[in-house]
Amino acid sequence: MPPRRFSNEPAFVLHRYDWSESSLILEVFTRNHGRTALVAKGAKKPSSNFRPVLLPLQPLQLGWTQSAGGDAEIHTLKGAEWVGGHIMPTGDALLSGLYMNELLLRLLARGDPHALLFDHYAAVVRVLASEHGEALEPVLRLFELVLLREVGLLPALDVQTLTQHALDPAARYALVAEGGLRTAGPDERASLRGAQWLLLAQALQEGAALTALLHACAPVAFELKPQLRALLQYHCGSPRLRTRQFMMDVQAL
């Protein structure tokens, strides 16, 4: 069987590893083929056309060749073009982007496409690279929700997980790693009112439109953050996410 070729594939670099003195192994997130591993031969050479292009949080179009038989895990990069549109995020926005990349590396299986997740990731990266102001936390919550939903780890947000009873709009509920959505205790601050969970559930069901999700996440981003972070860490397993640990260390300085 001849090698299969792919071209003009929208993609982002999630991580890169040294492979030899002159080459790199790339973990990339592509729109139509999911997470993919590529070898960029000669990419570390000063004369390589790949060298200035293969950066994280930058929109790319990639081309590669799949090995004969199609059973190899790492394929050969043949072309990479920067699509343009925004600069590299900096500061907290850069750390947030690297955090999203680490989540994708931990939770996405190779070769499992998630076009909707890719589109939301690309939109969030554009926000991170812009004068995002107070949008940083809401867009991160949006991304976390869509990621959990796309990989099948987010329980239904319109019913209590164990009983399947409908939510009382006025009562408070907490999202916990081992029990899903349950009634919150009287002193449990990391919780949302039923009406807020229902709004999030509706936004996710309506094609996960970016504006609807952002509208639902913005008022509850602070309360939602510890609940989603605990759920994500639970499913990522040990060790702690490196980007989360780094952020905590920086905040403690």
80-121 tens-digit pLDDT: 999 988 889 999 999 999 999 999 999 999 999 999 999 999
Closest alpha carbon to 80 in 30, 135, 130, 119:
30
Question: To which CATH superfamily is domain 91-252 assigned?
Answer: Recombination protein O, C-terminal domain (1.20.1440.120)
Cα–Cα distance measured from residue 121 to residue 12, given in angstroms and rounded to the nearest whole number = 9
pLDDT band at 1, cuts 50/70/90? low
Interatomic CA distance for residues 28 and 36, integer angstroms: 5
Query: 164-200 b/e with 16+ CB inside 10 Å = b?
Result: eeebeeeebbbbbeeebbbbbeeeeebbbbbebbbbb
How does the average pLDDT of the chain come out, rounded? 91
Q: Where do the CATH 2.40.50.140 domains begin and end in the chain?
A: 4-82
Architecture of domain 4-82: Beta Barrel (2.40)
Predicted pLDDT at 253: 43
Q: Determine the Cα–Cα distance for residues 113 and 32; give it in Å rounded to an integer.
A: 6
Summarize pLDDT for 199-241 with one digit per residue, the tens: 999 999 876 788 899 999 999 999 999 999 999 999 998 777 7
Tens of pLDDT along 164-187?
999 999 999 999 998 999 999 988
The tens digit of pLDDT for each residue in 137-168 reads: 999 999 999 999 999 999 999 999 999 999 99
CA distance 137 to 220: 10
> pLDDT band for position 68 (50/70/90)?
low
Q: What's the pTM value of the predicted model, to 2 decimals?
A: 0.92
pLDDT band at 242 (very low <50, low <70, confident <90, very high): confident
| Continuous segment of H or E residues that includes residue 16 | strand 4-18
Closest to 117 (Cα-Cα) out of 204, 232, 54: 204
The answer, yes or no, to whether residue 58 has pLDDT greater than 80, is yes
The CATH 1.20.1440.120 domain(s) of the chain lie at: 91-252
The H or E element spanning position 3 is none
